[in-house]
Amino acid sequence: MTDTDPLIVEQRGPVRWLRLNRPDRRNALDITLVEALDQQITSAEADPGTAVIAVAGNGPSFCAGGDFHQFLELHESGQNPVDFLTDVSACFSRIAASPKPWVAVLHGHAVAGGLELALACDVVVAADTTLIGDGHVQRRLVPAGGSSVRLPGAVGRGLSRWLLLTGELLPATAFANTGWIRSIVPEADLDATATRICHQLADRHSPAQEHLKTLLHRIDGAAPDYALHEELATFADNWQASSVADALREFLAPRTTKATHT
């Protein structure tokens, strides 16, 4: 792996950092970058030493969306860019469905496909100067990477409609009351804050966390009856896989010992 690769991978203990590395294009998504990201999903999920995946961007921005140069190249060769965007959507859906937590670390711009990548992640950390928005309609485009589906759940119906229908970009601080962004900090503190949050998640890494992450994805938007049934089924599966009985005995043992000596 070199500095010219579209995705830079760094393993920091239990956290795998993925850095989008097309800084001259503000990390715009093209075929090579999406393929590299998709490969890392497979690799990180298979690695028992990776508990959390953080995705960030090199250069001035997190990600400014799809690469318009590639869109036009596809169009001029007689192809509809939707074929490429089908792969983008599938990649982001894999992130959303991953049993391991993903953390998006935003700075500069998180627009269109960059927003959609962040929406697929479980936790978002942002520099307070980050500009965030859907942006598609400003270029006569509509979303194709998930923002029309995931944005309302992240920021609410009213704000999502505004962002989608106007394409306006707002500073990260405008999202402070939505609950979508876990921490908004000065850019100088971004890496340290993201690292701390990643390690909080990694400290809880277990089969139970993976079962829960998978459940949350499976019941997202589902009818309550189905969701409650799936919750019970997940509890039953997790009871054996996570050795819950042993954990409960360990938790209760000090109390039992203390009670015996009083």
Beta bridge partners, 124, equal 104
Angle at 91 between CA 38 and CA 72, to 5 degrees: 100
Q: Within the chain, which residue ranges are assigned CATH 3.90.226.10?
A: 7-203
Strands 123-127 and 102-106: parallel
pLDDT at 240: 85
pLDDT at 228: 97
Query: Can you tell me the distance from the alpha carbon of 151 to that of 119, in angstroms, rounded to the nearest whole number?
Result: 7
pLDDT at 149: 96
Question: From first to last of its 262 residues, what are the pLDDT tens digits of the chain?
Answer: 567 899 999 999 999 999 999 999 999 999 999 999 999 999 999 999 999 999 999 999 999 999 999 999 999 999 999 999 999 999 999 999 999 999 999 999 999 999 999 999 999 999 999 999 999 999 999 999 999 999 999 999 999 999 999 999 999 999 999 999 999 999 999 999 999 999 999 999 999 999 999 999 999 999 999 999 999 999 999 998 888 999 899 999 976 455 555 4
Query: Can you tell me the distance from the alpha carbon of 151 to that of 163, in angstroms, rounded to the nearest whole number?
Result: 9
Q: What are phi and psi of 133, to 5 degrees?
A: 180, 170
- Token code pair at residue 72: 């036009």
pLDDT at 40: 97
Angle at 119 between CA 118 and CA 124, to 5 degrees: 55
- Give tens-digit pLDDT for 191-245: 999 999 999 999 999 999 999 999 999 999 999 999 999 999 999 999 988 889 9
DSSP code, position 98: -
N- to C-terminal Cα distance for the chain?
61
How far, rounded to the nearest angstrom, does the alpha carbon of residue 181 sit from its chain's CA centroid?
11
7-203 homologous superfamily: 2-enoyl-CoA Hydratase; Chain A, domain 1 (3.90.226.10)
DSSP code, position 58: S
Rg (CA), the chain: 20
